[in-house]
Amino acid sequence: MELTAIGVLLGIGWVWYASMKAREKCHDTARDLCERMGVQLVDDTVSLSHLGIQRNGEGRLVFRRVYEFRYLDAEWILRDGTIILVGYTLESCLVHGQGAYH
């Protein structure tokens, strides 16, 4: 019984750590993208909008995370962006109104 509880706690800890690592990667990606575009990342944040499971290029089951962020363009218009991670690999980055960046 105690081993099961320890296993569950370790599993929860691993999922939390993996989620923080993925969120940090998306935050860095959004910030770098906004800098390259010459726009401002609003609130300096990204937020998880969807979490699913899919197979990566190696056939392993991994989390597919979709993060949303907001930025102000050169004309101070608020726009949305989307970053998709499969595992820890960047699948795509879309800035709405600007096109896709890979």
pTM metric for this prediction? 0.82
Residue 5 has what pLDDT? 86
Query: For residue 37, which phi and psi values (nearest 5 degrees)?
Result: -85, -15
Kindly list the averaged pLDDT for each block of 10 residues, start to end, along the chain of length 102: 87 89 93 92 91 92 95 90 94 76 49
Between CA 60 and CA 57 the distance in angstroms is 8
Q: 79 and 63 in contact (C-beta within 8 Å)? A: no
